[in-house]
Structure 1
Amino acid sequence: MRIAEIRLTPVAIPDKPLLNCKGVHQPYALRTVIEVICADGTVGLGESYGSIKALEGLRRAAPALVGLDPFHLHALKSRVAAALPEGGGINAKSAVADHKLVDVVTSAFEVPCMDIQGKVLGRPVADLLGGAVRETVPFSAYLFFKFGAHIGQVEDEWGEVLTPDQMVGEARRMVAAHGFKSLKLKGGVLHPDLEIETMLKLREAFPHHPLRIDPNGGWTVETAIYIARKLEGVLEYLEDPVIGMDAMAEVAAATSIPLATNMVVLEFDQIAEAYRKRAVKIVLSDHHYWGGLRASTHLGKVCDVLDMGVSMHSNSHLGITLAAMVHVASATPNLSYDCDTHYPWTGTDVIDEPFAFRDGSLAVPGGPGLGVTLDRTKLGELAAVYEAASIRERDDTAYMKQFDPGYERRVPRW
């Protein structure tokens, strides 16, 4: 069995004007849908970023994979590395953290290869990762402050959410629709005292839901310590309150709240430093930049040895990515916390049967491989949106300037 063809389809998926410390989400999020086709007709599906550098890396590496046995994943990484000798990062200048191109591209092609493996063997991807230890995977409601509408559009179904009380309303709707058992707030947007008030009101409205807040490094060390002390006994964990390993260690030493990260521990060689400095207690994995599905389960093993918690980070994504996330999470014994997902904000998909949360969880997809099937009509529609849209790179700051011409990107902001 050999790879005969690879198809890469960039798509644009509708997004909401969700706020963060760098600005606001644009009308569309960019993704790339990947089809790896074997000579016998077996097709593996994958999904990755749609940014310029990521897409260019996928296109440059794809020809080198023709003729590869999809079971030979070490050779896959070697071929990707050889095709991208200069490596480098993929993220735009407006991003706070960066990811290695070789890791991103390797992961992007590993997923469809494992989808093929599962289809050939008649087994789900979770079995290829050691077997599922849970039949369902819990997720957290991902809450965002937001504008009521994009520039030039009518107000969306969620409306404006710019106050603590409005955020409680958003949380109630999200929980009612999907049954989530934990809540995560994207912070670093409002004044720290307002975000403290928001978390306290969420605690009052949801007394039994674990709570988290993630300002993406939007606070100074002093502000982070101030907020942590106000929220002692309220938060399940505090995610990336500050930027940098040493700054995280300083905050960690000042609070009993565990610190989580997907910004200062992005690669395996950063785990030891985080452990030595006691900067991080929870690592949020993401197969897109940790090097793939197998690397993500390996991360779980490393965290287990070091007595660190592990869960899963999310970016705006479609159902192919979500399927991969569920398989990895199901095969990670020490998954300590509910996973993140943007999926409820997406509103569209390229798979035949979009996912539906039950009590805040998703069942591991049945059937061989990833267990999802491509809807070619939807793929074509979202590809057409990509071609028509002017967006080719995520830039929350530039878009924010259309709402507020005087806006300046500052990280930390508070």
Structure 2
Amino acid sequence: MTVARDRDLRIARVTLTPVLVADPPLLNTQGVHQPYTPRLIVEVTTEDGVTGLGETYGDTKYLELARPLAELLPGHRVDDQGGLFTLADRLAVDTARVDGALDVGGLRGVQTAGKLRLSVVSAFEVACLDALGRTLGLPVHALLGGKVRDTVDYSAYLFYRWAAHPEGVTAEPDDWGAALDPAGIVAQARRFTERYGFRSFKLKGGVFPPDEEITAVRALADAFPGHPLRLDPNGAWSVPTSLKVARELEDVLEYLEDPTLGTAAMAEVAAGTSVPLATNMCVTTFAEIKEAFTRDAVQVVLSDHHYWGGLRHTQQLAAVCRAFGVGVSMHSNTHLGISLAAMTHVAATVPGPLHACDSHYPWQTEDVLTERLTFHDGAVRVSDAPGLGVDLDRDRLAFLHERWARDDGTLRDRDDAAAMRVVEPGWRVPTMPRW
């Protein structure tokens, strides 16, 4: 291990690069993914010239907080990740504009100013850990205490989807085709299995009436007997509907994710079914844990290092879950390889059983890395290279940033409902519960 001098650890500059990344027409209860989604790439460079990478959401409200935080970082040490939160707390956030707003892109419930800060700090924390690891010659998982597994399992993330974005909308084509019925979902799952070796499947629900989605899950169970299956309608169902679906699928579901909104409703569903309930919507901060766990409202928490505030907070969450006998997995939003690498490093350090993590990455055709991360047998191998073990492709980064710079502002804030209105002009975000 390299011995670091003070100048090796002090930040000289921070570079923020917002990008727009191609996204396919994946459907959810809010609408459809826009043809491009915003992400923010964070580079932290030390006085000795070592650069660490981070990534988070790229919507305007995240940029507005990331920019002043970046200005505070020169002179800060990359091994002082805790101090990042102190710096972030010094920044004012327009809570009237943020609190109570639904984050459509993450479908994670009510977003507060505090959650926004954590989502931004997470990218800086990862970048600092990457820079520290590169400086010391250690992988990020070693900085987090060491890995307990050499590979991290991921689940195939299945979506109802259109064959293409609407005619006349600028978009990047793909060859996946439409999946709007059980046969289409099974075909999609087969392709994921053949290409990446996934052994578990998660269907994004809340798109069609529950009976149709029950049929799709049944079709998956028939096509892939014994494989873990999950269904996530993002809170689109009432308690009675959630219980009905749970009863009809209790013999095939690994867990049912956020069938209904709010801890109280989740607790009511949990009391009426043997199917484990998972969440990335009603437990998104440490303050929300007590009620959810004491009411036995959830049996699996899907962490996300972006909105929990980074990799160390993710480890803390996993420890709390273990103390309460609650399972752990990881939530995914549309992300690039930097985030996938960070997810993999922290997941490698979580002791005990870990449900296969979610990842949109197989859907993404673009990246900012010199080499894409790969899935073998449904898993990503944990890198032992210094830092995250990934390198930035500056030409690709510049290309994706130029796309962002040319945009008139239409795509700089992800809005699945607005994308749906291109096809259905009267579309509005459905009132929940939808069914």
Coarse TM-score class (shorter-chain normalised): over 0.9
CA contact (8 A) 1:300 1:335 kept: no
The aligned amino acid for 1:400 is: M
Q: Who is 1:241 aligned against?
A: 259
The aligned amino acid for 1:137 is: V
CA contact (8 A) 1:22 1:94 kept: no
Secondary structure of 2:18's aligned partner: strand
Q: Who is 2:426 aligned against?
A: 406
Deviation, 1:387, is 1.7
Deviation, 1:86, is 5.5
Deviation, 1:92, is 5.5
Once residues 400 and 220 of structure 1 are traced to their aligned partners in structure 2, the CA distance between those partners, rounded to angstroms, is 23
CA contact (8 A) 2:258 2:281 kept: yes
Deviation, 1:57, is 0.7
1:151 to 166, 172, 180: 166
- TM alignment of 1:236-385, pairs within 5 A: 236-385=254-403
The aligned amino acid for 1:226 is: K
Once residues 222 and 153 of structure 2 are traced to their aligned partners in structure 1, the CA distance between those partners, rounded to angstroms, is 22
RMSD: 1.5
Once residues 412 and 117 of structure 2 are traced to their aligned partners in structure 1, the CA distance between those partners, rounded to angstroms, is 20
Question: Normalising to structure 2: TM-score of the pair?
Answer: 0.92
Q: Who is 2:144 aligned against?
A: 129
Secondary structure of 2:396's aligned partner: helix
Secondary structure of 2:121's aligned partner: helix
Once residues 183 and 129 of structure 1 are traced to their aligned partners in structure 2, the CA distance between those partners, rounded to angstroms, is 29
Deviation, 1:298, is 1.0
Once residues 103 and 120 of structure 2 are traced to their aligned partners in structure 1, the CA distance between those partners, rounded to angstroms, is 21
Percent identity of the aligned residues?
50
Question: Normalising to structure 1: TM-score of the pair?
Answer: 0.97
Deviation, 1:236, is 0.1
**Compared with structure 1, are the counterparts of its residues 41 and 90 closer, same or farther at alpha carbon in structure 2 (3 Å cutoff)?**
farther
1:36 to 33, 44, 66: 44
Once residues 91 and 24 of structure 1 are traced to their aligned partners in structure 2, the CA distance between those partners, rounded to angstroms, is 22
**Structure 1 residues not aligned, in runs of 5+:** none
Superposed CA deviations along residues 106-137 of structure 1, whole A, max 9, x for unmatched, are 21110011011111211100011110000000
Superposed CA deviations along residues 82-110 of structure 1, whole A, max 9, x for unmatched, are 12365674895463512512211221110
**Structure 2 residues not aligned, in runs of 5+:** 1-8
Deviation, 1:271, is 0.9
Secondary structure of 2:422's aligned partner: helix
Secondary structure of 1:83's aligned partner: coil
- TM alignment of 1:183-262, pairs within 5 A: 183-262=201-280
Superposed CA deviations along residues 273-329 of structure 1, whole A, max 9, x for unmatched, are 111111000001011010110010111111000000001000000000000000000
Once residues 88 and 123 of structure 2 are traced to their aligned partners in structure 1, the CA distance between those partners, rounded to angstroms, is 11
CA contact (8 A) 1:318 1:350 kept: yes
Asked if 1:83 is matched to 2:91, the reply is: yes
The aligned amino acid for 1:171 is: A
Asked if 1:22 is matched to 2:51, the reply is: no
CA contact (8 A) 1:94 1:397 kept: no
The aligned amino acid for 2:418 is: A
Deviation, 1:386, is 1.3
Deviation, 1:74, is 1.9
Q: Who is 2:75 aligned against?
A: 67
Q: Who is 1:104 aligned against?
A: 119
CA contact (8 A) 1:139 1:338 kept: yes
The aligned amino acid for 2:377 is: D
CA contact (8 A) 1:115 1:125 kept: yes
Once residues 76 and 354 of structure 1 are traced to their aligned partners in structure 2, the CA distance between those partners, rounded to angstroms, is 29
Superposed CA deviations along residues 14-60 of structure 1, whole A, max 9, x for unmatched, are 00110000000000111001100111101110011101111111012
Q: Who is 1:120 aligned against?
A: 135
**Compared with structure 1, are the counterparts of its residues 177 and 90 closer, same or farther at alpha carbon in structure 2 (3 Å cutoff)?**
farther
Of 91-100 and 402-411, deviating more is: 91-100
Once residues 15 and 388 of structure 1 are traced to their aligned partners in structure 2, the CA distance between those partners, rounded to angstroms, is 17
Asked if 1:52 is matched to 2:60, the reply is: yes
**Compared with structure 1, are the counterparts of its residues 320 and 238 closer, same or farther at alpha carbon in structure 2 (3 Å cutoff)?**
same
The aligned amino acid for 1:388 is: R
Asked if 1:388 is matched to 2:393, the reply is: no
Secondary structure of 2:281's aligned partner: coil
Secondary structure of 1:236's aligned partner: strand
Asked if 1:397 is matched to 2:412, the reply is: no
Once residues 223 and 50 of structure 2 are traced to their aligned partners in structure 1, the CA distance between those partners, rounded to angstroms, is 50
Secondary structure of 1:45's aligned partner: strand
Q: Who is 1:176 aligned against?
A: 194
**Compared with structure 1, are the counterparts of its residues 15 and 118 closer, same or farther at alpha carbon in structure 2 (3 Å cutoff)?**
same
The aligned amino acid for 2:247 is: R
Deviation, 1:408, is 2.9
Once residues 321 and 168 of structure 1 are traced to their aligned partners in structure 2, the CA distance between those partners, rounded to angstroms, is 28
The aligned amino acid for 1:29 is: T
**Compared with structure 1, are the counterparts of its residues 73 and 332 closer, same or farther at alpha carbon in structure 2 (3 Å cutoff)?**
same
Segments of 4+ moved more than 3 angstroms: 84-94, 153-156
**Compared with structure 1, are the counterparts of its residues 395 and 92 closer, same or farther at alpha carbon in structure 2 (3 Å cutoff)?**
farther
